[in-house]
Structure 1
Amino acid sequence: MTFEIDARPVSSLSNPAVKRLAGLHLKKNREATGLFLVEGLRAVIEGVELGFTLEEVVFVDRLRDLPPGRRLAKLIAGTGARALEVTPEVLVKIARRDNPQTVIGAFRRREFTLADVRPEPGALWVVLEGIKDPGNLGTVLRTLDAVKGAGAILVGDTCDPWSVEAVRATMGSLFVNRIVRAPMAAFLDWRRGWTGTVVGTALTAAVDYRLVDYRPPLLLMMGNEQSGLPPQMVGACDRTVKIPMLGRADSLNLAVSTGIMLYEVVRCRQPLAES
């Protein structure tokens, strides 16, 4: 199988496919279509290999003639995915940034709900309330992948995990994380049936994060970048902890603090002698 392309790369910025893909930078179009953009040949191949449905892919530089391109073509053979060669100028239009990677794919997202979050043995979920920065979200998902977490629950008014900025920051880890979005009231109602442990970081906490038991299955709750966990979420925790500030800084970046917490969970479960 080879990519089905025109004799010449598409150069028109008004091409329907180009406009359709560029439109996925807008949340309303992602919500309407259920699609999101992934940039980079490696990430696109990884998404297909991990079972995500690739609807459309655009590329430059005669990708079909290169070994990675032939690999991608083989992966999507018979899937119905559309492939289109475009000029560099058109790729810039779709990526909405200078010097984009040479391949951009449009994937169908996977939807999960709170019903999919179960207290299975060893399960580790991160709960992010009101997270606003897509770069932070993407970095958290990448770190969660690194520690073999089960997924993330996004509570309340959060940034879109399927935005180009968030997806780019995951470096492909979006494909292995289950993502759940839920209003706070629905989450708090569901949490009452959670039989595992719930630990959260809180500005009011008095206990050092290194002194608690992170017994799985675990929900690790983190608040938003400005104000931390709201009182309702703090009240839903079994334990609240703090990360000590030893210098002049009185807080840490959300992605950094979540990374510290996740690796503390790993340390507790896997002593150094066994790593």
Structure 2
Amino acid sequence: MKRFSDHTPSRALPEWRLTLILDNLRSAHNVGNILRIAEGLQLEVITCGYTPTPPHPVLAKTAMECDLLVPCRTAPSAVEAIKLVRQEGCRMVLALEHTTNSIEVWDLPDIPMPLALVLGNEALGITPEAIGLCDRIVELPMLGAKASINVGNAAAAALYAIYAKYKEQLKI
């Protein structure tokens, strides 16, 4: 599989390597949006289950050609994807989900690389089996009554928080 370093001059931070695991996302629009974010941060993506995967016409329209640039592969499930990234040397797997054990994403004490972040289904969240394999569960604070945010928007907020925390950790 190609990595960004194979074809893109990098402005990323030293050792920056993050893989997104998309667990049964329903909306091709959301996946396209997430691929744009992934391209902007030079991330890899693993789509799982019934998540729309490139090439896909609706996804491509929202992705604005980022689906052609982002290294993307598939796994049968998020559980299998987590096992795969661990075999490849991933040092921490995070789940973006609100639970009784979750901490706010900016309260992570450290950001080891390589890192993976699991994003879940828009209605059902991350599968319990996948959450059970994650090292930490992080969340975005939800102060309103609905306690809901679009998965693409949540991905952007969490990923840029992780990027900022990693940059701070490197003292750059």
Number of the residue aligned with 1:36:
none
Which of 32, 45, 63 matches 1:152? 45
**2:27 — aligned with what?**
133
Shift of 1:242: 1.4
Aligned to 1:200: 95
1:242 and 2:139 equivalent?
yes
Separation in 1 of the partners of 2:81 and 2:65? 27
Q: 1:209 is aligned with what amino acid?
A: V
The corresponding residue for 1:122 is: 16
The CA distance in 1 between the partners of 2:80 and 2:42, in whole Å, is 26
Structure 2 Cα separation of the partners of residues 203 and 253 of structure 1: 13
Match of 1:256 among 147, 153, 156: 153
Q: TM-score under structure 1 normalisation?
A: 0.52
Cα distance in 2, alignment partners of residues 250 and 173 from structure 1:
30
Q: Separation in 2 of the partners of 1:221 and 1:214? A: 15
State the AA in 1 paired with 2:48: V
Residue 214 of structure 1 and its aligned partner are, at CA, apart by 2.5
Does the CA-based 8 Å contact 1:152-1:178 persist in structure 2?
Answer: yes
CA contact (8 A) 1:138 1:169 kept: yes
Cα distance in structure 1, aligned partners of 2:138 and 2:33: 22
- Distance of 2:127 and 2:36 partners within structure 1: 25
| Aligned mate of 2:63, from 139, 157, 170 | 170
2:95 aligned partner, one-letter code: G
Unaligned runs of 5+ in 1: 1-49, 51-120
| Secondary structure at 1:142 match in 2 | helix
Q: Which residue of 1 aligns with 2:3?
A: none
Question: Deviations along 1:183-234, whole A, 9 cap, x unmatched?
Answer: 1253354355243211111231431111112321110111111111111110
Are the equivalent residues in 2 in contact too, given 1:208–1:242 (CA < 8 A)? yes
CA contact (8 A) 1:208 1:244 kept: yes
More contact order relative to length (CA 8 Å, sep ≥ 6): 2
TM-score by length of 2: 0.81
Query: 1:169 offset after TM fit, Å?
Result: 0.7
Cα distance in structure 1, aligned partners of 2:20 and 2:151: 12
Q: How does 1:55-204 map to 2 (within 5 A)?
A: 121-149=15-43, 151-184=44-77, 186-195=80-89, 196-204=91-99
- Please report the RMSD computed on the Cα atoms of aligned residues, expressed in angstroms: 2.1
Distance in 2 between residues matched to 1:164 and 1:234, nearest whole Å? 31
Partners of 1:134 and 1:161 within 8 A in 2 = no
Matched residue type, 1:270 = K
Corresponding residue SS for 1:270: helix
Q: Distance in 1 between the 2:119 and 2:162 partners?
A: 14
Higher deviation after alignment, 159-168 or 232-241: 159-168
CA distance in structure 2 between the partners assigned to 1:227 and 1:203 by the alignment: 12
Superposition misfits of 4+ residues, deviation over 3 angstroms: none
Unaligned stretches of 5+ in structure 2? 1-6, 8-14
Secondary structure of the equivalent of 1:222? strand
TM-aligned CA deviation for residue 122 of structure 1:
2.2
How far, CA to CA, are the matches of 1:164 and 1:237 in structure 2?
A: 32
How many positions carry a matched residue from both structures?
154
